[in-house]
């Protein structure tokens, strides 16, 4: 337990963290990677360059400071981060390193304002918070290894099939190279894929949602090829997977992880909404629902740029044709002439609340969504404007967690932009 004086000191730093938090976390990563470059084998380099990791850490530090006297309030966030840590291979021995350079970054950025009392308070607070993380993650590692078909770190999987789903999305069917059983998972969870790219100094790890229902002898991931666009560099891992990984080759996977899962105890209708490659966890949820709960009403809504990049459309429409409790609706931002001629979509442009109200039969449902951050921000606002309770809204970030309540830098209207 923290001393009262420590709690008061940490609380006093909250306004400072609100202003300087991202600057502190940026400096933290610079210092840590300079002295421990081996940790670049764990962290996502693209998220570092784009500033997403720094922002996510700044938000987490701010939340911890603001709730230092009631850390149970941030336990859901802690568990979400712990899932990522376990899937990446973050271990207890990494926490002292993080603590050392986080304190050094606070001192470096704040200068004389970071008094000895403040640094001591943060050292004590970090020790308590780190103990919480390490305890939860130790249990997660143990559960990952002990479950039937489980394993603790990374395991070799062979690409059994490689299937092109659209112009930009390809699915990889992965079976364990040792021929043994694989761990079960909950629809919505992901695996980490560890890649060594020739010519690269460090390994790369990416998380990909499992895009099929549990209970198969394989895992399926469906990967969008991230080409360079609008000043953004191409995705090294996604391009490598699309161009270099063929059937028969080996990928190294973590055991399934993640807090974004379908609530199978809820018997109410389900609304699944996705944008771009955000449909992957939704496909897993849809497949699971029609197999295990065929009477439950499902509304499946997907936004894509057009039919050329719309993956798994035929699969979803076939499910809807066979299961009358499933309804589907498509929104195309820039439909092709063929899309228009075939009537391949129900709405042109962006998803908005008036249209959602015409295709979703009831507000008394569980709402799940995933996609680009601007898409999710706009959708989150629309659902709240409609009066959907926060407890019924569930979403997943691809990459470091963000804040859907903050205005989007790229515009709230971009609700169907592909990730």
Q: So what's the pLDDT on residue 415?
A: 34
Q: Cα separations (Å) of 16 from 13, 104, 109, 278? A: 5, 16, 11, 35
Active site residue 95: yes
208 is in an annotated binding site: yes
Angle, in degrees to the nearest 10, between helices 116-146 and 4-12: 100
For 332-368, write each residue's pLDDT tens digit.
999 999 999 999 999 999 999 999 999 999 999 999 9
Q: So what's the pLDDT on residue 52?
A: 73
126 is in an annotated binding site: no
Quote the tokens at residue 326: 């499933």
3-state secondary structure (DSSP) of residue 341: helix
End-to-end CA, the chain: 43
Q: So what's the pLDDT on residue 1?
A: 75
Q: Kindly give the pairing relationship between strand 190-195 and strand 204-209.
A: antiparallel
Q: Strand ranges (DSSP E) for 127-238?
A: 155-164, 169-176, 190-195, 204-209, 219-224
Q: So what's the pLDDT on residue 407?
A: 52
Closest CA to 273 of 410, 167, 378: 378
DSSP percent split of the chain into helix, strand, coil, nearest 5: 45, 20, 35
Question: Which residues are CB-contacts of 231 (< 8 A; sequence separation ≥ 6)?
Answer: none
CATH number for the domain formed by residue range(s) 155-253: 2.40.30.10
State the CATH class of domain 270-396: alpha beta
Q: What CATH fold (topology level) applies to the domain 4-146?
A: Globin-like (1.10.490)
Averaged pLDDT of the chain:
91
Q: What is the pTM of this model?
A: 0.91
Q: So what's the pLDDT on residue 401?
A: 53
| Ranges of the chain with pLDDT below 50 | 408-419
Q: So what's the pLDDT on residue 43?
A: 80
Torsion 406-410-414-419 (CA) sign: negative
Map out the domains of the chain as residue ranges.
4-146, 155-253, 270-396
Neighbour tally for 173: CB within 10 Å = 19
Question: Which residues are CB-contacts of 131 (< 8 A; sequence separation ≥ 6)?
Answer: none
H-helix or E-strand spanning residue 266: none
Q: So what's the pLDDT on residue 418?
A: 30
Q: So what's the pLDDT on residue 53?
A: 80
Active site residue 240: no
204 is in an annotated binding site: no
| List 62, 95, 101, 368, catalytic entry | 95
400 is in an annotated binding site: yes
Q: So what's the pLDDT on residue 14?
A: 92
334 is in an annotated binding site: no
369 is in an annotated binding site: no
278 is in an annotated binding site: yes
397 is in an annotated binding site: yes
| List 29, 62, 101, 137, catalytic entry | 137
Q: Rounded to the nearest 10 degrees, how much is the dihedral formed by the CA atoms of 252, 254, 260, 261?
A: 100
85 is in an annotated binding site: yes
For 43-83, write each residue's pLDDT tens digit.
877 667 767 788 888 888 888 898 999 988 888 888 989 99
Quote the tokens at residue 221: 């991931």
398 is in an annotated binding site: yes
Quote the tokens at residue 288: 């699971």
83 is in an annotated binding site: no
280 is in an annotated binding site: yes
């Amino acid at each position: 337990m923290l001393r009262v004086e420590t709690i008061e000191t940490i609380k006093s730093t909250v306004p400072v963290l609100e202003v300087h938090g991202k600057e502190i976390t940026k400096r933290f990563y610079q210092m840590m990677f300079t002295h421990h470059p081996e940790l670049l084998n764990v962290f996502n380099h693209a998220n570092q360059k784009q500033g997403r990791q720094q922002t996510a850490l700044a938000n987490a530090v701010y939340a911890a400071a603001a709730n230092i006297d009631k850390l149970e309030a941030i336990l859901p966030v802690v568990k979400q981060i712990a899932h990522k840590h376990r899937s990446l291979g973050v271990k207890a021995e990494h926490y002292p390193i993080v603590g050392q350079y986080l304190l050094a970054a606070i001192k470096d950025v704040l200068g004389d304002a970071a008094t000895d009392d403040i640094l001591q308070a943060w050292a004590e607070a970090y020790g308590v918070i780190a103990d919480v993380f390490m305890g939860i993650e130790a249990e997660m590692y143990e559960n990952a290894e002990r479950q039937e078909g489980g394993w603790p770190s990374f395991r070799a999987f062979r690409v059994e099939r490689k299937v092109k789903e659209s112009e930009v999305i390809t699915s990889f069917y992965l079976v364990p190279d040792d021929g043994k059983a694989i761990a079960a998972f909950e629809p919505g969870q992901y695996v980490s894929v560890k890649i060594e790219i020739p010519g690269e100094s460090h390994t790369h790890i990416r998380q990909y949602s499992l895009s099929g229902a549990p209970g198969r002898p394989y895992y399926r991931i469906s990967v969008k090829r991230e080409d360079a666009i609008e000043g953004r560099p191409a995705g090294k891992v996604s391009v490598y997977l699309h161009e270099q990984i063929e059937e028969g080759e080996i990928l190294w996977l973590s055991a399934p992880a993640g807090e974004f899962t379908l609530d199978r105890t809820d018997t109410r209708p389900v609304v699944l909404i996705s944008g771009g490659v955000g449909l992957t966890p939704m496909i897993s949820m849809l497949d699971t629902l029609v197999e295990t709960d065929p009477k439950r009403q499902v509304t499946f809504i997907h936004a894509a740029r057009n039919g050329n990049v719309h993956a798994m459309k035929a699969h979803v429409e076939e499910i809807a044709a066979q299961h009358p409790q499933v309804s589907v609706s498509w929104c195309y931002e820039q439909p092709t002439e063929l899309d228009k001629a075939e009537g391949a979509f129900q709405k042109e442009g962006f998803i908005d609340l008036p249209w959602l109200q015409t295709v979703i039969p009831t507000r008394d449902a569980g709402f799940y969504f995933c996609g680009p951050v601007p898409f999710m921000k706009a959708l989150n606002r629309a659902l709240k404007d409609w009066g959907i309770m926060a407890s019924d809204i569930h979403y997943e970030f691809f990459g470091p967690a963000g804040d859907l309540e903050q205005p989007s830098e790229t515009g709230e209207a971009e609700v169907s932009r592909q990730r």
